[in-house]
Structure 1
Amino acid sequence: MNRWGKSLLIAALVGVVAMAFRVSWNALKDVATATGADETAATLYPFVVDGLMALALVATLVLTGDARRFALRVLAAYTLASLVLNYVHGLVPELHDEVVDWGRLADWDPANWALVLLATSLPVGSIYFGSDLVAKVLHHRPIEHPTSTPNRDQSAETCVNRSTADLEVSTPAPITPTPAPAELPAAPVVSLVKSTDRVPVGVVAAESTRPRQATGRVPDVARSSRPNRTADQLLTEARTATADWTDRELTAEGIRKAVRTSPAKARVLRETLRAERGQSAGTGEAVA
């Protein structure tokens, strides 16, 4: 609906409410006069009852939660009270006359006492409930809606929980097994001291093959408990560990945990094993 249509709808609503208030105003004024109110009080009495209904309606549109339910209860209670007093005004013709029997709204005494109590308690209730509603509206803080949508939060959480070893970004090429280099013959060790001679004190044997350390001795705590493995050794261990795995279980994260290597090497091993399985499957089909 455009702005013009909304404005026309609001104007029509205001007109209907104003006319309904004028009709109810006549009945409530006569009831107030019958309960002993003077001319000024009787004129203001409809504003006390129907005016609080309008205030409760506005508070209902603003408040939320328990405060909104409280405003709805006040609106329902005063609407019912106004309906009862308008109904009594239609049943008692004497209320339309200028001279009425004060304090008499019904012929039956219990009903008359209840109606007089209802009519006289509405102004006091308007003071209490109206003040409470205004305080709730003034202290109400609107709820801030989150900027992110549930789908966006869910996708972000999925990205965080996903293992870095299973990401398909910038996957290196498979490892191609290379022949191990031939070992060089060990150099002959020449002893500077004859076997028959005794080794003097303070003389270091020349056959010591321990390399000289340039930066000092590495602490035992800093040393890795697992020796460095070559690419072939990693591939062999991965083949053995994943021999009975299915293609779905063959993930980089699983390989990384099985052979205890880095995520990058695990991705390379995964691609290599997948390529080998693909070649084996192609060979099997050709033979069949």
Structure 2
Amino acid sequence: MNRTGRILLVTALVGVVGMAFRVSWNALRDIANAIGADNTAATLYPFVVDGLMALALVATLVLVDQDRKFALKVLGTYTIASLVLNYVHGLVPKLHGSTVDWGRLADWDPANWALVLLATSLPVGSIYFGSDLVAKVLHHRPAPIPADTANAEESTETEMIRSTADLVESTPPPVVAPMVRMADPVAVDFIKSTQTPKLAPAIDRVPVASIERRTVPAESTRPRRATGRVPEAARSTRPKRTPAQLLDEARAATADWADAQITAEGIRRTVHTSPTNARTLRDTLLAERAAATA
């Protein structure tokens, strides 16, 4: 929405809220007169109730997390209180002409006590909750925008306002190499038979497209360094075992194992051999056990 549309929307909202406040102001003023407020206090009473609702609404737009939930609770509480008092004002016609008894808002005593308590406690609550909301708004610090998000938004805006002339030049179309017309085979055979140095007239000289140059890594002429023999101290002291010896050791080690425990990893760790030998030993042992069971 453009700026003009936003201004018109806010203006219409302010007008509707102002008219609604005027309607509520009449009811709340009569309620204030009924609970013993003088003319000045009764005139200011609607600003105490409905004004705090507006303040709580603004606070919900600024605060976050727990503070925002607190502002929503205040807004909901004072909205319900204003609705109840307006409802009572509509049910009691005597309030409209200020002929009702002082301190009497309902014929039933418990309801009257509750309504008087509600009407008299709203100003005190406005002082407490309003001060708390203002303090929370003043001490609120908005969370910093991450640098990556800011850079991304800035780059997006830059691409959007970028003119067509500033864009990178489009990729040129591929160059098609011209076709080379080869010599007629009949003319070539005739030239070879006559052994004349004349060339066949059918050959047309057409420039051939330039061949793309590619960088080829240079091969090193330096001879590879010969590795020396492994010293005796670094060599393994364990003699190399034959497949038969490995099988005997695996049989002895897995004699009391269950079939599910015979795995290549378990045999490799127990016999200390390579994974390939361990898999071979596993297959052999499982085959032997299957044959013995059969």
The alignment's TM-score, normalised by the length of structure 1, stands at 0.54
SS at match of 2:118: helix
CA-based RMSD: 2.4
Q: Distance in 2 between matches of 1:118 and 1:231?
A: 97
Q: Distance in 1 between matches of 2:227 and 2:28?
A: 98
Displacement of 1:175 in angstroms is 6.1
- Whether contact under 8 Å (2:33, 2:98) holds in the other structure is no
Listed as ranges, the matches of 1:1-288 within 5 Å are 1-149=1-149, 173=217, 230-231=224-225, 233=227
Q: Which amino acid aligns with 2:10?
A: I
Aligned residues: percent identity?
73
Displacement of 1:65 in angstroms is 1.2
Q: Distance in 2 between matches of 1:175 and 1:149?
A: 48
- Whether contact under 8 Å (1:92, 1:105) holds in the other structure is yes
Displacement of 1:173 in angstroms is 4.3
Q: Distance in 2 between matches of 1:18 and 1:106?
A: 29
Displacement of 1:59 in angstroms is 0.8
Specify which structure has the bigger relative contact order, considering alpha-carbon pairs within 8 angstroms and separated by 6 or more residues: 1
- Whether contact under 8 Å (1:67, 1:136) holds in the other structure is yes
What is the count of residue pairs matched by the alignment?
A: 165
Q: Deviations over 1:14-35 (max 9, x none)?
A: 0000000000000000011111
Q: Which amino acid aligns with 1:60?
A: T
Q: Which moved more, 1:128-137 or 1:94-103?
A: 94-103
Displacement of 1:99 in angstroms is 2.2
- Whether contact under 8 Å (1:103, 1:116) holds in the other structure is yes
- Whether contact under 8 Å (2:30, 2:98) holds in the other structure is no
Gaps of 5+ in 1: 153-171, 181-229, 235-288
Q: Deviations over 1:224-283 (max 9, x none)?
A: xxxxxx45659xxxxxxxxxxxxxxxxxxxxxxxxxxxxxxxxxxxxxxxxxxxxxxxxx
Q: Give the ranges of 4+ consecutive aligned residues of structure 1 lying more than 3 Å apart after TM superposition.
A: 172-178, 230-234
Question: Residue in 2 aligned with 1:199?
Answer: none
Q: Deviations over 1:23-62 (max 9, x none)?
A: 0000000011111111110000000000000011111111
Q: Distance in 2 between matches of 1:83 and 1:33?
A: 18
Q: Distance in 2 between matches of 1:15 and 1:104?
A: 34
Gaps of 5+ in 2: 153-215, 229-294
Q: Distance in 2 between matches of 1:48 and 1:232?
A: 95
